[in-house]
Structure 1
Amino acid sequence: MKVLFLDLDSVSPRHLGSYGYERDTSPNIDKIAEQGVQFNNYYTSDAPCAPSRTALMSGQFGLRNGLVGHGGTAGDMRHEGESRNLFSDLSVGGSLPSFLQLGAGLNTALISPFPQRHGTYNFYAGFNEIFNTGGFGMESAEQVTPVAKDWLDKNGKDDDWFLYINYWDAHTPYRAPESFGNPFENTELPSWANEETLEKHQQAVGPHSVHELEIDHNNMTYTNEVSDKFPRSPGEIKTMADLRKMIDGYDTGIRYVDEHVGMLVDHLEQLGVLEDTVIIISADHGENMGQLGIYGEHATADDGTCRIPMIIKWPGMQEGVVDEGLHYHLDLPLTLAEMLDLPASPNWDGRSFADSLKTGADTGRDYLVISQCAHVAQRSVRFGDWLYMKTYHDGYHLFDDEMLFNLKDDPREENNVAEAHREVCMEGAYYLNQWRDTTMIKAGLDVDPLWTVMKEGGPFHAKGFLKNYGQRLIETGREEQFEKLKAKHPQEFPEERRDEKGEFTRKMMSSLF
C-alpha cells in the first residue's frame, strides 16, 4: 500500500475548482477529485493550525487532547497521567503515524517544519523519517517539492509507505515567487467581491479586518504595515484594487501549490506507481476571505475557517463521487483502520466514512461541533443548513455572543439571523452542551481547555493586545469602536474598574451620612 497525504495549509474548498470556484485555481487537484471521492462538508474539529493537526494525529477532539490554542497551557497536549505506560499512547498506535507504522507496517515519512513552528513535537510520534524543510512554515513549494521527489525516487517503488507533505503557499503572508506572475490579473473577481461588500466590511473592527491585516507581535498591536518581502499581501483594503490584490494573492498561492501537486503526480507516473498510490488531499483549516469581516486569516469557528477540502483517490474504490455528509477530519484515522481491516485505537473519537469510499454510501453525522481558541474563543455547531456560533471571547471583533447563519441561503455568513430563529439557536445550544458533556464524561475530564484559555487571559493572538490596539483605533478616528471593545472586555482595564468601584463606594457612603 502506498499513501501520499498532501496537507495544503490554509486552502479553502471555496477556492478550488472542483468545489465550484469560478477561478481556475486548481486544475491538477480537480483532476484528482474526478478520479476519487470529494467530501463537500468536511471540517476540522479544532482550528487553527496546531489544534487542527493535533486533533487529526491524535484522533481526538481538542477538548479531550487538551491542545486548543497557540500558547499557554492549552498550547500543549494533556499529560496521560497515572495511566501512562512505558510507551505513551501516541507511541504505540494512538497516533495516526504510529498506527500506520506499527499496525499497517508502513514506512512513515514526514516532510514538514510544522512541529518546530508550533512546538508540537507530539506530531512526530510514529514517523520513521522526518524532513524539516527549515523555514518554520515560511518556505515556498519550490523548497518542498525537491525533497518530496528525492524521497519518492528512493522509496516510491516500495510496496508499503505513507508520505505526509506540507505545502504553505496559501498561508499568509502570500509568498508565491514573483516570477510566477499573477494568473488572475485579467480574471473577474468572485461575484461577492464588490463595492457593497467592501463598504459593509469597512465597518468591521479587529485583527484582519480590512483596516488591519497584519499583527505586530513585537509591539502587541494590529497594524496595516507590511513587509516589502511579501508584495502579494496588502496591509489594508481601502479600495477595490486592494481587494483584488488580497484575493489574487490568495488564489495565486493556491494555483502555485496546485502546480506542485501536478509535479508530484507526474513524478509518481514516471516511477510507474501512480495507479497503485492512494492520494489524499486536505488542509489544516480554510481561510476567511471576507466571512465575518475577516480577510486572510483563520481566526474563527465558522465555515470559512473550519471547512476544509478532503479528496481521496483510492485505487479500486469509488470514482467521481461527491459526498455531502458531515464529517470531521479526525474521522480519517478510523476510516483508514477500516479500509485496512485493522483494529482501531479505543482512544479515537472519530467515526469511519470508509463506506463512502467503498460504495458511495452516506456516512455523515447529524451535527458537528467546531472550535477555535487561538484567535477567539468560540464553539459552533454545524447541522442541517445551519451554523450556530457561541462566542466566549471575540478577539476584539465585537461579535455577538450568539450568531446563527443559514449557510444554504447565506454561505458567506453576512446575515446573523439568531434573533429571528431563537428555536434554531436553542437546538444548536442543545447539541453543543450534549457534545461537551458526552465527550468530557467519556474521557473522565473535569477541565474544559476553552475555560483554561479564558482563565489565562484569553486567546493567544488577542491576549494583551487591546490597549495598544485601542491607541490605534483612537488615532484613526474609531474611538467609538474602542469604547465598545472596552465595555466588552472590562477585565483588560482593571484600573478603570477600581476607579468605578471606588466611585460607587463613595456614592453609597455619601447616601448613608
Structure 2
Amino acid sequence: MGPNQAPLFPIRIFKISLYYSVFFYLFFLIFNTSFTIMGVDVGDFLKQYLGAFFGVYLTTTFKVFSVSLFLNTTLFTLVHLGFYFVTRKETKWFLLVGTVFLIQSLALFQSMIKFPQIYGEFFFFRYPSFAPFLYFLTDHISPNFLSIILALVCLVFLGILVINVYLYKTKESFFALIYVLVLTFVHIHGLYWIGILFLSLVLWQRDRYQNIHIKTYGFLFGFLMFLFILPNVWLTISSFRHSKENGKPPIFILSADSLRYDKIGYKINGESLTPNIDSFKNESFQFHDHHTTIPRTFPSWTDTLTGKYAMDHKIRDMFPSPDEKQRIGSSRYPTLQQILKKIGYDHFAIGSFAADIFPRANFGFDAVFAPNFNARIMTMQRTAETQILVLPFLLGSWFSGGMYLEELDGLSTWGDGDRLLHRFRSIVKERNFSPYSITYFSSVIHFPYTPAYPHYKRFTNHDYYGKYKYLKFVDPTESNLPNKAEISQIRSLFDSAVYAFDQEFGEMVGFLKEKGIYDDAIIILTADHGEALYEDVHGQGHGEHLRGESVTHVPFMIKFPKSDFKNIEEENFYGITSSVDLVPTMMDYFKIQLQSEYPGKSLLPILGEKSWKEERFVYAETGIWFSDRGDHFFQKQRIPYPNILSLHQVVPEEDYQIMITDPMYRETIAFSKHRSIQNSNYKLIYIPTREGVKFEMYDRIKDPLNQNNLYPNHPMASKMKEVLYKTVVKWENASLAGEYLIPSSISDINEN
C-alpha cells in the first residue's frame, strides 16, 4: 500500500511562485533596464516610441512575464515534488525559494560562461564593478562543469520519481510522471501558454488525479512518448514526398556577415582560422578578387540575389521604405530564388540576427528561419534581457528550451551557431536530393563578434581584462582609436568569430557528406561584405567608406556537382569579380535565358582561366551613415544629413518596421554616397562634398591600405572616371550637374 494521497500542486506553491516571479521581474526591470542598444544610447527614441505605442509595450511586458511565471512555477512545482516524495512533509517556503534560486543561479553562471557577450551590457555598461565576477567564471570554470551539476540535480529528481513509481505504483506517482513529461515537452518546444493552461488545470483539479484509472496513465504515457518522437517521425515521412530530379542539384549558399577574404587561410601561430574552408577551396572554384557592391547587409544581399545594383532597384540602406521594398521580387527585379522557382526549386533561408533582412522583403523564400526586425521586437528583446534569472532558459543554454520567445533569435550578442545548424540539418533530412536551395547566413562575425564558448577564447589574450574582453560594438559617434592592447583584442575577437563560423561551415559540409549529398550539390561560399579593423585611419565597421580592401573584398567559391566541369584543372581565378555575377552565373548553369540586361557576368565561360582576357571594372558604393558626428576622415568628406535616430520612422502599418520614409532624406542619402570603380590594379573613389566632388585613386597592389592618392596625375585616372560615370548614368539613370551625379528618384521610375 502506498503513501497517503495529497494534491501534488497545492495553491501554496503557486502563491510562492507568483510572489517570487513578481518580485524578481520588477526588481530586474527597475535595476537592469538599459537604453543602450549595440553600445549606442537610444533613450530618447525608446521613450518616444513607448509613448506612441504604449499598448505594444504592455503586450510585450505581459508576454515576457508570462514566460517567466511559467518557468518559475515549473521549477517550484518540481522542487516541491522532489522534497515531497522524499519527506512526505510540507517544505518550508524559504527552502523552496532557496533551492529554486540556486538552480537558476547555476543555470545563469553556466549561460554567462557559454555566452558572456549576452551579459556584456550588464557587466560593462550598467554594473562594471561586477565585471571581475564574470572574468572569474570564464577564466576558471567550464560551462560543462555546471551543466554536469545541473544534470545531476535533474537525475536525482528523476531518480526519486522513478523509485516512487517502481515502489508504490500509485496513481500519485504515475500522475507525477505524466506531470513532469508534459512540462518537459512544453519546455522543449517553448509552448508556455499550453504550460500555463496545464498548470492551471492541475491547480484546479487538486487531488482529482485519483479518479483517473491507472490504465489511463499508461495510455497518456505512451501518447506523450509519441509526441516526443513525432517531429522526427514526421520529418522521415515528409522526406518521402521529395525526390531527386536530374539536372536540378540541391543548392547551398553558405555565408557569414563581415567575412573578409584575407581571413581565409590566415594563420595565427601556425594555426589556420579556417581549416574547413581551406579543405573546401581545394574542391571548388575560387575567385580570389571578389567584391561586394555595397558593404551593408540589406542592399548587398538584394544586389546578390537580384543581380542588379542598389542604385537600380533602390534598396540602398538597411531601412527601405514600403515602395522601395516592393520592388524586390517584382517583374523587373526577380530574385534568383524566384527565377529558380519556375523550374521546380523550393527555397529556404536560415540565419541569426543580421538575417532579419529576409523576412522584411519578398526575396522568394518558401520558408524563412530567421528573426525579424522592428520596434516591437526590439522592445521584446530589451524587456527579456533584463530578466537574467530566466534568460538562460530562454536561450536554451542547457537542457534544450530556447523557443519561448522567437524574438530572441535577433539578439546581436547571441552568436551560437548550434540552433542554426539544427535547422539546416532538419531541412536537408527532409529534402535530401530534391530541387531546393538553402541560404545560410551566420552573424557570428558581425560586430560585436560573438562566438560562443569555447571559441571566444581561442585567439584572444587570456590576460586582457578590459571592456572588450568578450565583444566590441561599433559606436558610430566614436572616432577616438582604442589603444594597441584593445585593438589587438578586438582583432582577436574577430579572428575567433571567423574560426567559429568555419566550424559551422565544417559541420554543414560534413553533414552533406554524411548524407551523400555533397558530391551532387552546388555549394557556394561568400559574404555580404567585409569589416574594417582599425587598419590605418579606416576605423571599425563597414559601409562608411570604400578605402582599403577590407570592406568590399570577400571570399567567393563555388563547388559544382562532381560530374560537372571535371576536366577543368585550373580552379583559381584571379581576375576581379562582383557579387552581381552570381545570378547570371546560375542562370547560365541552368540554361535560363536572361529576360533583361544584367550588370554582372556569368563566370562559367572563364572557369579554367586565371584572369579575364579583357579589362573588367566593378562598381561599389557606401551605405548609409548612421551618425553625423565624429572626427572620422569620412565625416570630413561627406554631405551631412541627420543621424539615423532622426532619419527613421516606426511604421505601424508595416508591423512597426523601422524605415526611412521621407523622400527628401532618401534622395539626399543617395546623392551623398561615395562610389567607386575598380579593376584588378586600381580603384577610383568618387566623393561628393559641399565644396565640390573629390576623387581618390589608389594602386590596389602596391598600396592596399589606400594611403597614396594618385588622382589626377595617373594615366588611368581619366579612363576610370569615365567608366564610373557611364556606369552610374546607365544603371541609375543619373544626370550630371557639373561633376555631381544626380540620382534618379524612385518616383520618376515607371514600374512594369
What is the TM-score with the length of structure 1 in the denominator?
A: 0.69
Among residues 378, 381, 393, which one is paired with 2:674 in the alignment?
A: 378
Residues 266 and 393 (structure 1), Cα distance of their counterparts in 2 relative to 1, 3 Å cut: farther
In the alignment, what sits opposite 1:227?
A: none
Q: Are 1:356 and 1:362, in contact at CA under 8 Å, matched by a contact in 2? A: yes
Q: Take 2:530 and 2:511, find their aligned partners in 1: how far apart are those partners?
A: 27
Residues 261 and 314 (structure 1), Cα distance of their counterparts in 2 relative to 1, 3 Å cut: same
In the alignment, what sits opposite 1:308?
A: 554
3-state secondary structure, aligned to 2:683: strand
In the alignment, what sits opposite 1:101?
A: 341
Per-residue CA distance 1:164-195 (angstroms, 9 max, x = gap): 110111111011124324333589xxxxxxxx
Per-residue CA distance 1:205-252 (angstroms, 9 max, x = gap): xxxxxxx97327xxxx4377xxxxxxxxxxx5212x222202111111
In the alignment, what sits opposite 1:209?
A: none
In the alignment, what sits opposite 2:330?
A: 88
Q: Take 1:295 and 1:26, find their aligned partners in 2: how far apart are those partners?
A: 24
Percent same amino acid at aligned positions? Answer: 17
Alignment of structure 1 residues 355-394 onto 2, 5 Å: 355-357=605-607, 362=612, 366-375=616-625, 377-392=673-688
Residues 359 and 325 (structure 1), Cα distance of their counterparts in 2 relative to 1, 3 Å cut: closer
3-state secondary structure, aligned to 2:272: coil
| C-alpha displacement of 1:360 | 6.8
Per-residue CA distance 1:263-321 (angstroms, 9 max, x = gap): 11111111111111111000001111234522431122243211111011112334661
| C-alpha displacement of 1:61 | 0.8
Query: 2:404 matched to 1:154?
Result: no
Per-residue CA distance 1:386-439 (angstroms, 9 max, x = gap): 111122269xxx9x93222211112222333336x3443322211111111222
Among residues 540, 555, 562, which one is paired with 1:296 in the alignment?
A: 540
Among residues 295, 304, 319, which one is paired with 1:47 in the alignment?
A: 295
Q: Are 2:735 and 2:742, in contact at CA under 8 Å, matched by a contact in 1? A: no
Q: Are 1:286 and 1:304, in contact at CA under 8 Å, matched by a contact in 2? A: yes
3-state secondary structure, aligned to 2:410: coil
In the alignment, what sits opposite 1:437?
A: 729
Residues 150 and 118 (structure 1), Cα distance of their counterparts in 2 relative to 1, 3 Å cut: closer
Q: Are 1:33 and 1:320, in contact at CA under 8 Å, matched by a contact in 2? A: no
Query: 2:434 matched to 1:174?
Result: no
| C-alpha displacement of 1:44 | 1.3
Q: Are 1:330 and 1:350, in contact at CA under 8 Å, matched by a contact in 2? A: yes
In the alignment, what sits opposite 1:354?
A: 604
3-state secondary structure, aligned to 1:324: strand
3-state secondary structure, aligned to 1:348: coil
| C-alpha displacement of 1:64 | 0.7
**Structure with more strand by fraction:** 1
**Could you list the runs of 5+ residues in structure 1 that have no partner in the other structure?**
188-211, 225-235, 455-513
**Aligned residue pair count:** 397
3-state secondary structure, aligned to 1:89: coil
> RMSD in angstroms over aligned alpha carbons?
3.7
> Which protein has greater RCO, CA pairs closer than 8 Å, 6+ apart?
1
In the alignment, what sits opposite 1:228?
A: none
| C-alpha displacement of 1:142 | 2.4
Q: Are 1:14 and 1:20, in contact at CA under 8 Å, matched by a contact in 2? A: no
Query: 2:136 matched to 1:136?
Result: no
**Structure with more helix by fraction:** 2
Residues 137 and 404 (structure 1), Cα distance of their counterparts in 2 relative to 1, 3 Å cut: farther
Alignment of structure 1 residues 180-329 onto 2, 5 Å: 180-185=455-460, 214-215=474-475, 221-222=477-478, 236-239=481-484, 241-291=485-535, 293-299=537-543, 300-302=545-547, 303-315=549-561, 316-317=564-565, 318=568, 321-329=571-579
Amino acid at match of 1:88: S
Q: Take 2:268 and 2:708, find their aligned partners in 1: how far apart are those partners?
A: 22
Q: Are 2:684 and 2:698, in contact at CA under 8 Å, matched by a contact in 1? A: yes
Per-residue CA distance 1:486-508 (angstroms, 9 max, x = gap): xxxxxxxxxxxxxxxxxxxxxxx
3-state secondary structure, aligned to 2:550: helix
Residues 213 and 143 (structure 1), Cα distance of their counterparts in 2 relative to 1, 3 Å cut: closer
Residues 336 and 437 (structure 1), Cα distance of their counterparts in 2 relative to 1, 3 Å cut: same
3-state secondary structure, aligned to 1:293: coil
Q: Take 2:473 and 2:744, find their aligned partners in 1: how far apart are those partners?
A: 24
Q: Are 1:58 and 1:348, in contact at CA under 8 Å, matched by a contact in 2? A: no
| C-alpha displacement of 1:121 | 2.7
In the alignment, what sits opposite 1:204?
A: none
Q: Take 1:371 and 1:253, find their aligned partners in 2: how far apart are those partners?
A: 26
Q: Are 1:385 and 1:407, in contact at CA under 8 Å, matched by a contact in 2? A: yes
Query: 2:701 matched to 1:415?
Result: no
Q: Are 1:405 and 1:417, in contact at CA under 8 Å, matched by a contact in 2? A: yes
In the alignment, what sits opposite 1:479?
A: none
Residues 25 and 76 (structure 1), Cα distance of their counterparts in 2 relative to 1, 3 Å cut: farther
Q: Take 2:269 and 2:250, find their aligned partners in 1: how far apart are those partners?
A: 30
Per-residue CA distance 1:307-342 (angstroms, 9 max, x = gap): 111011112334661111221111111110111112
